[in-house]
């Protein structure tokens, strides 16, 4: 059993600083939400976008390329169809 | 008003219109019959075949007419695969580029359903296949067919067909070149074993495709065959449309250099000026090795369907590869393969009669439409709908 003292401090886990739920939203809305909210997190931290529009598979990395943020990758969502994208704010 | 969707359908060329009307009078009979009317029809059909063969650089008996470019692509792929099917060794392996026209990808998927293996070769950000990767894919398994378009129909990028053809020849693999996007706009491709083109993309009427199969290439009808079109395409051919398509290809080829210079300069104006006029606008495709008449761009944060509708309202007919503008709700597989932004997408493809003034007007209206649409997106956001 893990005691609270053994638990890793929050800063050690590279979890997202912000999660954006764009499930059910069609492109370009998930990208607009990402663009509008990435400024809320500190530079160097990570935002996670949840989306199920297949166009986001291309458009999230393409947006990162155009806007020079770092695209960290995508993972299938476990509980619903869709993807979780992670982006590190670069500036 | 300006029609900028020539890559979907080029307006009927004057020569094609004349040929079509004449053929309605003396090209309606069954070319397979021995009576006078039939022999007349046969003569006209043979002449059209010779004309098209000369323009493609092949023999007349290698050319068949189909009911569409899509049918030509299906027959090319499935007939080549069918001919090399072996009871002992199976259906074999097909190599396609990721940015082929949907008709080619659909035919490959159809073959895959009946046992073929299919390898899809990716493209660079400009939409061009990598020759080494393509050659590597051909070398895997028992490859029975390679498929590479002459140029891309959505972004205009020219593919390295001569290099891929050399790799195919070295490996003894037939190469199918879908030349629908480039026919009448570029010199005919070289090194192909099978070729397809589509009449309405070069100023012919809709409902005519061209299938060419080199004599030395093994090909077997994948459908129930009859004696039409060298046993390659079943059914009574649409002779008036075929004659008109042959006249259109001839006319397009005759004026190819002049049309290329005019259209290339107009698409260059859009390529060069739009990014400065519209913030967050990306131009797709190769800036130099490209078709003369196509320019494709995406505007960040916009809905492609809304852009098409607003441009239509302003008098400009364009198409879009964005998911919302397609009937499948899937983004363009071409843009996705390129890793390009798929939303806010517009393809401008200029027909031969395009004036510089219409392009100037287009460049004048796009920035206002984009900023108005982006403004309405902002208002939706402020109202808290999402």
Q: List CB contacts of B97: < 8 A, sequence separation 6 or more.
A: B120, B121, B123, B129, B134, B147, B148, B149, B159
Q: What is the pLDDT of residues B36-69, one digit of tens each?
A: 999 999 999 999 999 999 999 999 999 999 999 9
Q: How far apart are CA A71 and CA A61, in angstroms?
A: 6
Note whether B331 contacts A27, CB cutoff 8 Å.
Answer: yes
Per the model's pLDDT, the better-predicted residue between B216 and B327 turns out to be: B216
Closest CA of chain A from B201, distance in Å: 28
For residue A4, pLDDT beyond 60: no
Region A35-61: mean pLDDT is 96
Closest CA of chain A from B126, distance in Å: 13
Q: How far apart are CA B61 and CA B68, in angstroms?
A: 19
Q: How far apart are CA B359 and CA B259, in angstroms?
A: 15
Q: What is the pLDDT of residues B350-379, one digit of tens each?
A: 999 999 999 999 999 999 999 999 987 654
Predicted local distance difference test score (pLDDT) of residue A5 = 52
Note whether A27 contacts B340, CB cutoff 8 Å.
Answer: no
Note whether B323 contacts A32, CB cutoff 8 Å.
Answer: no
Note whether A66 contacts B339, CB cutoff 8 Å.
Answer: no
Our CA angle for B74, B321, B206, nearest 5°, is: 45
- What is the overall mean pLDDT for chain B? 95
For residue B346, pLDDT beyond 70: yes
Region B257-269: mean pLDDT is 98
Query: Which residues from A are below 8 Å from B386, CB to CB?
Result: 25, 29, 33
Predicted local distance difference test score (pLDDT) of residue A14 = 66
Note whether B323 contacts A62, CB cutoff 8 Å.
Answer: no
Which chain B residues touch A if contact means CB-CB below 8 Å?
280, 282, 300-303, 322-324, 330-331, 335-336, 339-344, 377, 381, 386
Helices B239-254/B36-56 angle, 10° precision: 30
Domains and CATH numbers, chain A: 15-88 (3.30.110.40)
Query: Which residues from A are below 8 Å from B341, CB to CB?
Result: 58-59, 62-63, 66
Query: Which residues from B are below 8 Å from A63, CB to CB?
Result: 300, 341
Q: What is the pLDDT of residues A12-26, one digit of tens each?
A: 456 899 999 999 999
For residue A11, pLDDT beyond 60: no
Closest CA of chain A from B342, distance in Å: 6
Note whether B303 contacts A35, CB cutoff 8 Å.
Answer: no
Which of A5-19, B180-194, B196-210, B358-372 is predicted with the least confidence, judged by mean pLDDT?
A5-19
Query: Beta-carbon neighbour count of residue B127 at 10 Å?
Result: 28
Q: What is the pLDDT of residues B266-297, one digit of tens each?
A: 999 999 999 999 999 999 999 999 999 999 99
Q: List CB contacts of A85: < 8 A, sequence separation 6 or more.
A: A48, A49, A51, A56, A60, A71, A73, A74
Q: How far apart are CA A46 and CA B249, in angstroms?
A: 55
Q: How far apart are CA A87 and CA A48, in angstroms?
A: 6
Q: How far apart are CA A87 and CA B2, in angstroms?
A: 41
Of A26, A31, A58, the CB nearest to B301: A31
Note whether A31 contacts B335, CB cutoff 8 Å.
Answer: no
Instruction: Kindly name the residue from B58, B147, B168, B324 that is annotated as catalytic.
Output: B324
Predicted local distance difference test score (pLDDT) of residue B26 = 87
Query: Which residues from A are below 8 Å from B331, CB to CB?
Result: 27, 54-55, 58-59
- What is the overall mean pLDDT for chain A? 88
Of B336, B339, B344, the CB nearest to A28: B344
pTM score over 0.90: yes
Q: How far apart are CA B232 and CA B241, in angstroms?
A: 18
Region B110-136: mean pLDDT is 97
For residue B290, the 8-state DSSP code is B
For residue B386, pLDDT beyond 90: no
Q: What is the pLDDT of residues B64-116, one digit of tens each?
A: 999 999 999 999 999 999 999 988 988 999 999 999 999 999 999 999 999 99
Predicted local distance difference test score (pLDDT) of residue B378 = 54
Nearest CA in chain A to B378: A32
Query: Which residues from A are below 8 Å from B336, CB to CB?
Result: 57-58
Region B246-266: mean pLDDT is 97
């Amino acid at each position: 059993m893990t005691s609270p003292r053994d638990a890793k401090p929050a800063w050690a886990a590279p979890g997202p600083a912000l999660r954006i739920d764009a499930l059910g939203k069609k492109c370009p809305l998930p990208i607009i939400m990402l663009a509008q909210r990435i400024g809320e997190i500190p530079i160097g931290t990570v935002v996670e976008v949840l989306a199920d529009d297949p166009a986001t598979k291309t458009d999230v990395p393409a947006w990162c390329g155009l806007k020079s943020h770092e695209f960290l990758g995508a993972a299938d969502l476990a509980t619903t169809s869709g993807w979780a994208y992670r982006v590190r704010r670069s500036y | 008003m300006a029609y900028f969707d020539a890559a979907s359908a080029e307006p009927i060329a004057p020569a094609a219109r004349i040929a079509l009307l004449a053929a309605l009078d003396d090209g309606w009979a069954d070319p397979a019959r021995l009576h006078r009317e039939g022999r007349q029809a046969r003569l006209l059909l043979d002449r059209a075949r010779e004309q098209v063969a000369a323009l493609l650089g092949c023999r007349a008996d290698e050319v068949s007419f189909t009911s569409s470019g899509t049918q030509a692509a299906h027959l090319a792929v499935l007939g080549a695969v069918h001919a090399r099917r072996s009871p002992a060794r199976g259906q074999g392996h097909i190599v396609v580029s990721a940015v082929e026209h949907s008709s080619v990808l659909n035919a490959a998927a159809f073959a895959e359903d009946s046992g073929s293996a299919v390898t899809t070769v990716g493209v660079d950000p400009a939409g061009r296949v990598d020759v080494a990767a393509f050659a590597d894919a051909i070398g895997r398994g028992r490859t029975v067919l390679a498929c590479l378009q002459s140029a891309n129909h959505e972004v205009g990028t020219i593919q390295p067909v001569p290099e891929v053809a050399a790799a195919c020849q070295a490996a003894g693999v037939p190469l199918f070149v879908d030349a629908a996007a480039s026919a009448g706009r570029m010199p005919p491709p070289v090194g192909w074993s099978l070729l397809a083109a589509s009449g309405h993309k070069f100023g012919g009427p809709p409902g005519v495709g061209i299938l060419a199969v080199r004599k030395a290439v093994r090909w077997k009808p994948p459908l129930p065959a009859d004696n039409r079109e060298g046993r390659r395409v079943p059914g009574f051919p649409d002779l008036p449309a075929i004659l008109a398509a042959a006249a259109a290809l001839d006319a397009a080829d005759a004026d190819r250099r002049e049309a290329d210079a005019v259209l290339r300069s107009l698409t260059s104006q859009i390529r060069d000026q739009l990014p400065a006029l519209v913030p967050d606008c990306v131009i797709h495709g190769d800036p130099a090795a490209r078709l003369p008449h196509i320019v494709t761009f995406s505007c960040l944060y916009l809905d492609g369907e809304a852009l098409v509708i607003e441009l239509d309202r302003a008098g400009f007919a364009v198409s879009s590869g964005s998911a919302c503008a397609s009937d499948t709700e899937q983004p363009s597989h071409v843009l996705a393969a390129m890793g390009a932004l798929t939303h806010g997408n517009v393809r401008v493809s200029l027909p031969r009669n395009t004036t510089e003034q219409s392009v100037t007007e287009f460049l004048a209206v796009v920035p206002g439409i984009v900023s108005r649409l982006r403004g309405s997106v902002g208002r939706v956001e402020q109202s808290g709908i999402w």
